[in-house]
Structure 1
Amino acid sequence: MTRDAGNKAARPFHEFFAGSGLVSVGLAPAFKASWANDVSKRKARVYRANLDGEALHLGDVSEVDGASLPDAVLSWASFPCQDLSLAGNIGGIHSARSGLVWQWLRILDELGERAPKVICLENVIGLVSSKGGNDYRLLHAALVNRGYRVGAVVINADRFVPQSRPRVFVMGTKGKVPEHLISDGPTWAHSPALARLGETIEGFTWWNLPEPEARTTEIDDVIEQVEYDKDNVTALVPQRHVEKFRLSGRKFATGYRRTRNGKQVLELRCDGIAGCLRTPAGGSSRQYIVQREGKRLHARLLTAREAARLMGAPDDFELPGTYNDAYFAMGDAVVAPVVHFLSENALRELVDYAYVA
C-alpha cells in the first residue's frame, strides 16, 4: 500500500512537474494528488513506488489538455529551474525549460471555472533576480490577470533539514484571506531581494507565516555507516579548508569539487549542514561526505539515502533504480518539510477559505 492510499478526507490537488513526489509527501495528510504529471521516467519510478501511481501521467506537459483533468482545489507547479538558476544558463522564464510554466498557465485557462482557486509555484531564488526581477513580474502579472491575489516568500530548507536550499514559493488565491496570513510589509520569509522587488509591485501580497522553531538536526544525523572509498580526493582540499575543518571541531563536513584558478579543488562546508543538492550531471555535481579522524581525512560520495534524508523524505521512502537515478530524483525535488510547513500554515487555510459556500 502506498503512503497516500485511503486518504479520502484529503483535499484534491494537481501536481505539475511532480518529480519523485516529495510535494505529495509534504502536503499530506491535508492534500492528495487527484492528478500529477512529469516527463521523467526515472522520477516516475520513484513516484509510483511511494504514491498513487494511477494519479501520475507520464508525458510532456505541453500535450496535456486542461479540460481532461479531474477537479482539484489547489494547483502546485514546481516548474523547471534550469533557465533561472545560477548553475544554468539564466535564459529566463521564456526559455525552453523554465518557460514550461506558461504551459501550466495554459492548462489553468483550459480548466476555466474549474481551475483551482489556490495555486503555489516553487522555484530557485533566481526567479526573483532573473532579468532584473522582470521574469517574476511577468509571472506575477499573469496570475493577477487570472484573478489571483498573489505574493511570494523565500524559505531556506536549512530551517527544517541540514541542507542549505533557499527556494521561492509563489502563492495565490481567488478566495478570502484570513487577516493573520497578511503582513503590512516584509517578514522573515522575504529575502532582501524579494522585499525590494515586492515593494515595486502594486498589490503584492506580503504573506505572513509563523517563524519556524530552530532546527535541531545536523549533518551527523543523516550519516550512514558505509565505506569511505574516495580518500584520494582529500588531496584536493585546500589547506585553509583543512584548517577550517579542524577548528570547527566537527567530525563531518560536506564538499563539492570546483575549479579555482584552473585547478580542481574540494571545498568543504563545516557548519553542520550540507550544500544544496544538485542533479548528478557530472563529477562536480555530486556532494562528498568528508570525515575527520585525527589529522587524517576520509571521503566518499553522499549516499542516496543520505540525499533523501536531506530532502526530508522518510527512511521508508523507496528509491528504486541506480544510485544516479535516486540522486537525480532527490537532487531535483522539493524539501518535504518545507512543503508541509506551507500546507499547515497557509495553503490548507487558503483553500478552506476559498471554498466556503
Structure 2
Amino acid sequence: MNSTSPRLLDFFAGSGLVSSGMDEICQTVWANDICQQKGDFFQKNHPETQFLLDSISNLKGQDLPEADISWASFPCQDLSLAGNRGGLTSSRSGLFWEWLRLLDESPKRPRVLAIENVIGLVTSQGGEDYRQLQLSLEERGYRVGPMIINAWHWVPQSRPRLFVVAVAKGIDTSAYESTFPNWLHSTPLQRAFSTLPNTIFWNLPEVKAPRPALSDIIEWNAPVLPQEKTERLLSLVPDNHVREIDNLPANKQYVFPGYRRTRNGKQVLELRFDGLAGCLRTAKGGSSRQFLLIWNKGKWESRLITTREAARLMGAPESYSLSENYNESYNAMGDAVAVPVVQFLAKHLLAPLAKLPLNSDVSSRKAPKFCLQP
C-alpha cells in the first residue's frame, strides 16, 4: 500500500469485506465491531489492520487514529423491510448517533464520510430518518450525496444498498457531480431528499463490465440434500414457477435459487429465473435460508447455498478465509458489503475526494436546482 493512499477508519466492520474492497486503493488503519465471531473473520483476513473489539458506545473520538475517510455500515435491523422498522431512534440502528458523537469528539474530522445501509432507510418513517441523517451531516460541515447501487452490476446477486458519501465543505467536488439525478438516484431516493436543497448528485460512470451468471459461481460437486427433501421443496414450487422449469433438456445443468415464503396462508418456494441469487441475509430462520434447486442432467437435486458460493456472491476473493461452521460463515457474508461495490466507490469517488485540496471559497457555491427525475 502506497504511503500516500487515503487512510480509512472502518466502523461496524463486521467480517472485513469493506476493508477487502479498499485494498490497493485506500489503507484501512483501524477497524471496530462488537461481534466476536465477525471480529475473528476480520482479524483472520486482515491481520495487519488494528482491530478493536468493543461497543462503539465505549469509544472516544480523541482516541481514534487520524484518517481521511470514515466508513460506517451501521446496523440495519430497525430499518430493514424485514425488521421492526423502529428507525434511527431504535437501539440497533440508533448506533448511527454514536458514530456521529465520535466525529464530534475527533480533534481532526475525516474530510470524507461514507455510510452504507439497506434501502429501507430511504422510506423509514416516511423518509424522515434519511432526512435527519443528511441534515445531521450538513450541520457538521459536510456536503452530502446519497446513491443506491445494486451489487448485481458485478456479481450474480440482487443486493441494492444505500450509500451516502459526504465531503467537507471547502472541497471543490464539481468534477464528480452532475446537475440532475442520474442512474444512482431512484425515485424513492429522490423523494427522500427532495426537500434538502443542498444535496449533491454524485456522477459516477455507469457499469458496463459483464458479470458472471449464478451458474458460473456454483460448486456443482457440493453435497446435496436427500431426495425426499428435494421432493418436498419441489412440492412447494408455485404452479406458475413449475411451468418455467418443466421440460428442461436432459443433458443440461441449471440452477434456480429460491426462498420459502408464506403466501395466502400457504408455504411456497419462490424461484428466480434471471440468473441471479436473491439478497443474502443472516441465517437466523428458515425463511432466511436460500435454497438451490439444481437440474443436473435429467435429475432434480437441492441444497443450501454453500459458504464459498456466498463469499463469491459478495465478490470476496477466493483467498478469503471462512469458518468450518456454516452459520458463522453465512452470517459473515449475509451481513456484509459487496466487495466490488466498495472497490467501485473507492476508485471513482472516495479516494479522489480524499486527495482534493481544501478551498475555503468553494463552500459558498450554490447547489444545483432539483426537480424530480423519472
TM-score, normalisation: structure 1: 0.94
Paired residues of 1:173 and 1:354 also in contact (CA < 8 A): no
Paired residues of 1:312 and 1:335 also in contact (CA < 8 A): yes
* Cα distance change of structure 1 residues 356 and 261 upon mapping to structure 2, 3 Å threshold: same
Paired residues of 1:245 and 1:270 also in contact (CA < 8 A): no
In the alignment, what sits opposite 2:308?
Answer: 305
Paired residues of 1:198 and 1:204 also in contact (CA < 8 A): yes
- CA–CA distance in 1 between the matches of 2:109 and 2:205? 29
Post-superposition shift, 1:248? 8.8
Paired residues of 2:19 and 2:28 also in contact (CA < 8 A): yes
Letter in 1 for 2:150: N
- CA–CA distance in 2 between the matches of 1:29 and 1:293? 40
- CA–CA distance in 2 between the matches of 1:168 and 1:116? 21
In the alignment, what sits opposite 2:123?
Answer: 129
- CA–CA distance in 1 between the matches of 2:23 and 2:202? 22
In the alignment, what sits opposite 1:201?
Answer: 196
Post-superposition shift, 1:293? 4.0
Q: Which shows bigger deviation, 273-282 or 313-322?
A: 313-322
> What are the superposed Cα offsets for residues 221-276 of structure 1, whole Å, 9 maximum, x if unpaired?
11012122141322211222121234898711101111122222111011100000
Structure 1 residue 350 corresponds to structure 2 residue 353? yes
In the alignment, what sits opposite 2:367?
Answer: none
Q: Which shows bigger deviation, 116-125 or 192-201?
A: 192-201
From 51, 56, 62, give the equivalent of 1:56: 51
Q: Which shows bigger deviation, 55-64 or 191-200?
A: 191-200
From 188, 207, 216, give the equivalent of 2:211: 216
Letter in 2 for 1:142: S
Post-superposition shift, 1:129? 0.7
From 258, 279, 289, give the equivalent of 1:286: 289
Q: Secondary structure at the match of 1:142?
A: helix
Q: Secondary structure at the match of 1:290?
A: strand
- CA–CA distance in 2 between the matches of 1:53 and 1:356? 35
- CA–CA distance in 2 between the matches of 1:203 and 1:223? 45
- CA–CA distance in 2 between the matches of 1:63 and 1:247? 60
- CA–CA distance in 1 between the matches of 2:90 and 2:268? 32
After the TM superposition, which residues 1-357 of structure 1 pair with which residues of structure 2 at under 5 Å, given as runs? Answer: 8-52=3-47, 54-112=49-107, 114-174=108-168, 175-224=170-219, 225-229=221-225, 230-231=229-230, 232-246=232-246, 251-293=254-296, 296-354=299-357
* Cα distance change of structure 1 residues 286 and 59 upon mapping to structure 2, 3 Å threshold: same
- CA–CA distance in 2 between the matches of 1:191 and 1:35? 33
> What are the superposed Cα offsets for residues 184-206 of structure 1, whole Å, 9 maximum, x if unpaired?
11100111111222322111111
Post-superposition shift, 1:53? 5.7
- CA–CA distance in 2 between the matches of 1:42 and 1:136? 30
Paired residues of 1:43 and 1:329 also in contact (CA < 8 A): yes
- CA–CA distance in 1 between the matches of 2:155 and 2:29? 28
- CA–CA distance in 2 between the matches of 1:7 and 1:247? 56
In the alignment, what sits opposite 1:3?
Answer: none
Post-superposition shift, 1:180? 2.6
Aligned-residue sequence identity (percent) comes to 48
Q: Secondary structure at the match of 2:356?
A: helix
Paired residues of 2:172 and 2:358 also in contact (CA < 8 A): no
> What are the superposed Cα offsets for residues 56-78 of structure 1, whole Å, 9 maximum, x if unpaired?
10011100111101111100000
Q: Which shows bigger deviation, 318-327 or 244-253?
A: 244-253
Q: Secondary structure at the match of 2:155?
A: coil
* Cα distance change of structure 1 residues 196 and 157 upon mapping to structure 2, 3 Å threshold: same
Q: Secondary structure at the match of 2:127?
A: helix
Post-superposition shift, 1:105? 0.1
- CA–CA distance in 2 between the matches of 1:316 and 1:184? 41
* Cα distance change of structure 1 residues 142 and 237 upon mapping to structure 2, 3 Å threshold: same
- CA–CA distance in 2 between the matches of 1:248 and 1:127? 41
* Cα distance change of structure 1 residues 246 and 26 upon mapping to structure 2, 3 Å threshold: farther
- CA–CA distance in 2 between the matches of 1:14 and 1:294? 49
Q: Secondary structure at the match of 2:276?
A: coil
- CA–CA distance in 2 between the matches of 1:332 and 1:122? 12
Letter in 2 for 1:160: W
Give ranges in structure 2 of 5+ residues lacking alignment: 361-374
Q: Which has the larger radius of gyration?
A: 2
Letter in 1 for 2:112: V
- CA–CA distance in 2 between the matches of 1:227 and 1:22? 27
* Cα distance change of structure 1 residues 354 and 19 upon mapping to structure 2, 3 Å threshold: farther
Paired residues of 2:259 and 2:271 also in contact (CA < 8 A): yes
- CA–CA distance in 2 between the matches of 1:267 and 1:86? 18
- CA–CA distance in 2 between the matches of 1:187 and 1:248? 40
